Structure 1
Amino acid sequence: MPSVRPMFLSLLAAAALTACGGGGDGGDSAPEETRLQDSRNSFVPAEPAATTFDALKADAGDTVDNASTSRWAGVLGGAAYRIEVPANWNGRLVMYAHGYAGTGNTLAITNPSIRRHLIQSGYAWAASSYTKNYYDVRVGVEDTNALAQAFSSIAAARGRTLSAPQRTYIVGHSMGGHIAAAAIEAEAQATANHKVRYHGAVPMCGVMGDTELFDYFTAAQVTAQAIAGVPQQPLTGWPAVSAQVTSTLFTTFPSVPTATGMGYLAVVQNLTGGPRPLFDLGMAVGGSFAAVWGVFGGDGTVNGILNSNVADTTRFTYVIDGNAAASAALNAAVQKISATPDANRLRRDGLRWIPKANGEIGIPVVTLHTLGDLYVPFSMQQIYQRRVAAKGNSGWLVQRAIRGASHCDFTVAEQVEAFDAMVQWEQGGAKPAGDDVLTPATVAAPTYGCTYTRNTLGPDDSNTTAQLRGAIAQNAATCP
């Protein structure tokens, strides 16, 4: 199987370009509107003078000397970067996209969690801080692509002559998973200012439903208010009612719901992917739902990434399992929120403000998602599967469910296995196996997610992952 279908991608890119007016929006030469994010220009790299970074600590299983790699740090177009190239480089480059870094002014870089595997296997990797924080997937795609384009020239400037990579892959976590998914889309090939043709992608715990994540956040807020008996009000009024809602739904937030709160948790379960293993543990010990509760009260602009509300709850029918009457009453009473038309429209000056994962792909994609993730929930994978299938591209997608209790709490072994499966597929191997993410009975089975869960911990696994996998084992939720 060829790794990329150039003609196929060119046709898709041409279609996307036509959809956005060939880059000119039907000949309209007026300047594009601006938004709050455009005026935020005080971001600075954490280490602006850095020219290198520490070698990876040796481990007994290493086969090459980690200290022998070329390690370059610097600033490109306002974004900090790190690049690492092993002495025995195999000609392949892996771009790593980090997740959401908050709203501060300091730009930081995250090394890929599979760094050891990459350099031990001969891969080069590169990672950008991006030029801005906030949920700015647009700059994440552009700055990651710009760094990929500059890889060989940066190497030359540092005294090492490298040819252009034979293959370029992209992997990412959380918002970085969104970046990875958006970067490989036909729409990005048509509208990005920095265009890179990737050969394969591994988005992990990614926002694969792009703006539909904010639909979920909003739905979780309005249903919490409705079930707690709080009258309808503007979403931004949350601070005034949050204490009342929390005490009505939880004895101890979020691990001990009240009797009323049990109905709310049923709604959340169905919003996040339906009945499945690890949902209860995700709520009780995973910690990711607190982040959802923390974003309530927004105005739908994603903190100034957009100019108007993008969240829409009109597509939801809320379900409290086993209680049809309560479900009907909730759907009749709950506040319904509609998105502003074209809040996230195509732009004339580059990517959308929140780039899309439309499913217009033509390269191998292997995704990972934990079942207990309630911040970027498992339903993101279901949305993405439907989009890819609707475009006729299911042959390019493999999805794997992992029995983790929180957001992105994969073991390194799970991530390495997914990456290697993608590469072997891209290099002409058979399409790897994955999980059915759509059939409710399959997803609800007690052993769902066991196939690709690897609980063996290594030197690069975090203490958080180790603790959470231990909690899963203590609650008899491990696989046979």
Structure 2
Amino acid sequence: MRSQEKPVAQLNGTRSGKLPSALCALLGAALLGGCLTPPPAVIALPVPEETRPQDARTFIPNVAALPFAALPGTTAETDRWTGVLDGAAYRIEVPRNWNGMLVMYTHGYAGTGPNLNVSNPAIRRHLIENGYAWAASSYSKNYYDVRAGLEDTNALALAFNGIAAANNRPLHAPLKRYIMGPSMGGHIAAAAVEQETLATAVHKVRYDGAVPMCGVLGDTDLYNYFGAYQMAAMELAGMPATSYPVPDFAALRQKITDALWTAYPSATTPRGDRLKAIVMNLTGGQRPIFEEGFRVKPLQDAVWTAFAGDGTINGVLTRNIINTTGIVYRFSNAGAPSEEDIAFNRAIYRIAGTPEANRPRSDGMRWVPKVHGQFNVPVVTMHTLGDLYVPFGMEQLYRRRAMEQGNDKLLVQRAIRAPGHCDFSVAEQAAAFQAMADWEQKGIKPAGDDVLTPAVVADKNYGCNFTNNTAGKDDLPALAPTRASLPACTGAQNR
């Protein structure tokens, strides 16, 4: 039971000649007896949790859009059910030849609008043709509300049998439950199998395996990256930040991009080249397809739009979570920090944030569930190499956390040669899911990529082993031309 929370002072950022301590090591070399009646027991009452802007927002399930048709081009017969559960819309599909296993699909970030929509899994065909049932929730809230997404997904998983019975198809409880999803859905899928989630969730579900795709595997560290990118861009553009949030950042954006690009975002100025070097190192280091990803306008726009926030993740938190005090900015990607690296790290403004902005709650999970690497089921991830929005470096952070917890033997990661965010072919997603399922069901551990060794990640053929450029009938039309423009693999598997 939580005692009354003490006020936490807002920490100020710094801009001085002193390095934050977290960087110094790296850049400089880490009742009375008898018959007396006892007093009545004191009953401690729960302390109400604070409210946040997200709690006051209203969202509406888009019921009219819920019905969905049988998948064309398949002989698999299914039952399909839709409805609303605790404010969240849902879709469920169960093959007539159900194999007894259920896959919970978690959609990605759906913006800040009021309407709640459900997304079908991209690998729907693979699932139903292999006998898997699947279910997907719209979640009861939009915005980056991972807690709502996780609780609503778990609630739907627990309601699966009741919904089936209400639709005149009594089913036994699932023999296995798996969870998978992209982006914010990848954050949900990874957090769903964490020990902290199992201990603190209101709706508790023990999944047997997970497939987070292009996931926010560093939880709030994603926002540290956004803050670091913003501070670096302003510093290099000659408009250094002196406070955070940055006043009138939207008005400054054009001046900053004009200083760093000759043609945004395809051609950089010399100062923009230095920014590109920093961003490469912030997002995972030297690797193939980074250059192509850096030039993807929707991703750059998404990142720059994120800069205009105040660190509360649009009111999902009540205080600033961004902390760049431990960020090491590098222009070089090998060897000891250069004099230029050291000077830049001394000069740049540091965002300190509020340590308790995402503290444990007394009423359930944290507002942004953590991904500590504390899991005990098979996890297979995949990530595109050029992604700047949820960068490949999330995979490296996840691997290190799993290693710290002694769980890295349960983690397999795959790199995909594509420049966009979650820019996967259906074949790549189906292969990752099946690899996890075969591992969990048959004990066959799948192959994966080394995400930590710089020389391996920098190799020109990195990501070739699990990239599948074959566009299937369920792929978006844009897949083939996007993949065709990328550097070809040589001397390695290339489908």
TM-score calculated relative to the size of structure 2: 0.88
Q: Report the alpha carbon displacement of residue 27 of structure 1 after superposing the two structures with TM.
A: 5.7
1:184 maps to 193
Asked whether the equivalents of residues 286 and 372 of structure 1 are also in contact (C-alpha less than 8 Å), the reply is no
1:259-408 to 2 correspondences below 5 Å: 259-285=270-296, 287-321=298-332, 324-408=338-422
1:194 maps to 203
Asked whether the equivalents of residues 286 and 406 of structure 1 are also in contact (C-alpha less than 8 Å), the reply is no
1:254 maps to 265
CA distance in 2: counterparts of 1:338 and 1:87, whole angstroms: 55
From 207, 228, 245, give the equivalent of 2:256: 245
Deviations 1:274-308 (A, max 9, x none): 00000001112474222111111211100001010
1:415 maps to 429
Deviations 1:384-436 (A, max 9, x none): 11111101111111111111111000111111111111011101322111111
Deviations 1:85-138 (A, max 9, x none): 011000000000000000000101110000000001000000000000000000
1:133 to 1:350, Cα distance in 2 relative to 1, 3 A: same
User: Which amino acid letter does the alignment assign opposite residue 398 of structure 1?
Assistant: V
2:245 maps to 235
Asked whether the equivalents of residues 414 and 448 of structure 2 are also in contact (C-alpha less than 8 Å), the reply is yes
1:54 maps to 69
Helix, strand or coil at the partner of 2:483: helix
**Identity, % of aligned pairs?**
56
From 55, 60, 63, give the equivalent of 1:38: 55
CA distance in 1: counterparts of 2:239 and 2:489, whole angstroms: 36
Q: Report the alpha carbon displacement of residue 462 of structure 1 after superposing the two structures with TM.
A: 1.1
Q: Report the alpha carbon displacement of residue 467 of structure 1 after superposing the two structures with TM.
A: 3.0
Deviations 1:326-366 (A, max 9, x none): 32332122110112021100001011000001111000000
2:164 maps to 155
Helix, strand or coil at the partner of 2:442: coil
Asked whether the equivalents of residues 49 and 74 of structure 1 are also in contact (C-alpha less than 8 Å), the reply is no
Q: CA RMSD in A?
A: 1.9
Deviations 1:132-163 (A, max 9, x none): 00000000000000000000100110111111
Q: Report the alpha carbon displacement of residue 21 of structure 1 after superposing the two structures with TM.
A: 6.0
1:428-443 to 2 correspondences below 5 Å: 428-443=442-457
Q: Report the alpha carbon displacement of residue 471 of structure 1 after superposing the two structures with TM.
A: 2.1
Q: Report the alpha carbon displacement of residue 314 of structure 1 after superposing the two structures with TM.
A: 0.9
CA distance in 2: counterparts of 1:242 and 1:94, whole angstroms: 43
1:16 maps to none
CA distance in 1: counterparts of 2:241 and 2:170, whole angstroms: 63
For structure 2, the 5+ residue unaligned runs are: 7-42
Deviations 1:20-61 (A, max 9, x none): 869x99966211111111111x210122585x3211111xxx
Q: Report the alpha carbon displacement of residue 325 of structure 1 after superposing the two structures with TM.
A: 3.7
For structure 1, the 5+ residue unaligned runs are: 1-19
TM-score calculated relative to the size of structure 1: 0.90
User: Which amino acid letter does the alignment assign opposite residue 177 of structure 1?
Assistant: G
User: Which amino acid letter does the alignment assign opposite residue 261 of structure 2?
Assistant: F
CA distance in 2: counterparts of 1:327 and 1:353, whole angstroms: 35
CA distance in 2: counterparts of 1:118 and 1:268, whole angstroms: 38
User: Which amino acid letter does the alignment assign opposite residue 252 of structure 2?
Assistant: V
2:26 maps to none
Bigger CA radius of gyration: 2
Asked whether the equivalents of residues 178 and 206 of structure 1 are also in contact (C-alpha less than 8 Å), the reply is yes
Helix, strand or coil at the partner of 1:181: helix
